[in-house]
Amino acid sequence: MHGYAKDKDAYLTRLRRIEGQVRGLQRMVAEDEYCIDVLTQVSAVTRALQSVALGLLEDHLGHCVAQAIDEGGPEAEEKVKEASAAIARLVRS
């Protein structure tokens, strides 16, 4: 079971909402909306995706990484490295 399993429905709802925002962006560009208005919406979508990413990361650390650490062994070290790489990717994005 993945760490996000208990919040899966909430994540799916948020992702569907983001999908709608992206479709709105496509419509805005197709209808030649003002650049700043489009950029404002791009910023909103970006923040929404970052929020989902942070929630997933928190769930991963609290479940997958914590479980691996409890069990010990090389998998624990691998999960910590994996989480660190994910954090680095989020910081760079």
pLDDT in tens, 18-46: 999 999 999 999 999 999 999 999 999 99
Q: Could you give the CA distance from residue 58 to residue 11 in angstroms, rounded to a whole number?
A: 13
Tally the domains of the chain. Answer: 1
Sorted by sequence, the CB contacts under 8 Å of residue 89 that are 6+ apart come out as none
* pLDDT at residue 93 in the model: 82
The tokens describing 7, both together, are: 């919040």
* Prediction pTM value: 0.86
For the chain, percent of residues with pLDDT exceeding 70 = 100
In which residue are the tokens 């209808």 written? 31
- CATH number of the CATH domain containing 37: 1.20.58.1000
For residues 93 and 47, the answer to whether their CB atoms sit within 8 Å is no
For residue 8, give its domain range: 3-92
pLDDT beyond 80 at 58 = yes
- CB count in 10 Å sphere of residue 14: 16
